[in-house]
Structure 1
Amino acid sequence: MHYDEVEVLLRRSKDYRSLANVAFKEGKFDVAIFLAEQALQLYLKAILIKYADLRLKTHSIRELLVNIGKVFEAEEKVAEFIKSNRTLLRELEDAYIDARYEPKQYSREDAEDLIEFVVKVIGFVEGLSNEFERKINQLDN
């Protein structure tokens, strides 16, 4: 495992989530959404490096999640999560470009929904990693 690399990415992810909350409180909803999306990308990439030494050069949250499903042997769970959250995932991925380059305005509700969704995705992946760790520990015993 590349501990230092993973720790840097996880710290940045946490920092970006904090900055997203600051931007949200200041009414900078486009910035808040962009930072939340970046935080999620970094988190997912850290998990892939930690568990599979896998470095993907993609900005697609869905693609990162699919790969996490493979790593944790939870493809069906991840596929269902993606299917159930397709609209929010698409909005979050679109925000990666739109919040920076398009004259799109985001509302408070948009930002709130997407920031909460980022927390939900992270919680989902943490659950998968905990399950995976339990399976590994059972095999070791």
Structure 2
Amino acid sequence: MPEYEFLRKNADSFYRNAKQLLEQGEYNLAAFNLEQAMQLMLKYLLASRLGEFPRTHSLRRLFREIKDLCPRLWEFYEDNASVVGNVESAYIASRYYPVDFQEVEVREMLSAYEEFLEVLRGCLGNP
């Protein structure tokens, strides 16, 4: 197993947790888990293609790093920049500030994440 496979496995766990937390009404934590899942999957793609990934928590920066590796993923980012921005804000906001994500916002984040996964799998050559 490649040394970076843990990124994908952890991302899958964060995604499952996000869905459970959403159903339990824990919207802030669901948003945080979606951010972690997206961040780790972006790092997984970079590691699988380049053998390494930048040490950053910025989704925007990670998407920029992937721009040339997977143009379809960059298109996803451009089409969903607002939602990705909300997902990115969950990393800091849900941990350190009195933020209150609403169910509709987190459902939108979840839907965007699932679309992101489809595009990313295409970049990886997985069905």
Superposed counterparts of 1:85-96, under 5 Å: 85-96=80-91
Superposed counterparts of 1:1-141, under 5 Å: 3=2, 5-72=3-70, 74=71, 77-130=72-125
Between the aligned partners of 1:7 and 1:81, the Cα distance in structure 2 is 23
User: Displacement of 1:71 after TM fit?
Assistant: 2.8
Residues 97, 113 of structure 1: CA spacing in aligned structure 2 closer, same or farther, 3 A cutoff?
same
Gaps of at least 5 residues in structure 1 are: 134-141
Q: Are the aligned partners of 1:37 and 1:95 in contact in 2 as well (CA < 8 Å)?
A: yes
Give TM-score scaled by structure 2 length. Answer: 0.89
User: Displacement of 1:83 after TM fit?
Assistant: 2.2
Calculate the aligned-residue CA RMSD, in Å: 1.8
Paired residue secondary structure (1:56): coil
Larger radius of gyration: 1
Give TM-score scaled by structure 1 length. Answer: 0.81
Percent identity for Structure 1 against Structure 2: 25
Residues 10, 79 of structure 1: CA spacing in aligned structure 2 closer, same or farther, 3 A cutoff?
closer
4+ residue runs over 3 A deviation: 77-80
Between the aligned partners of 1:125 and 1:66, the Cα distance in structure 2 is 14
Letter of the 1:22 counterpart: Q
Q: Are the aligned partners of 1:37 and 1:96 in contact in 2 as well (CA < 8 Å)?
A: yes
User: Displacement of 1:55 after TM fit?
Assistant: 1.9
Letter of the 2:123 counterpart: L
User: Displacement of 1:16 after TM fit?
Assistant: 0.7
Q: Are the aligned partners of 2:73 and 2:116 in contact in 1 as well (CA < 8 Å)?
A: no
Structure 2 match to 1:139: none
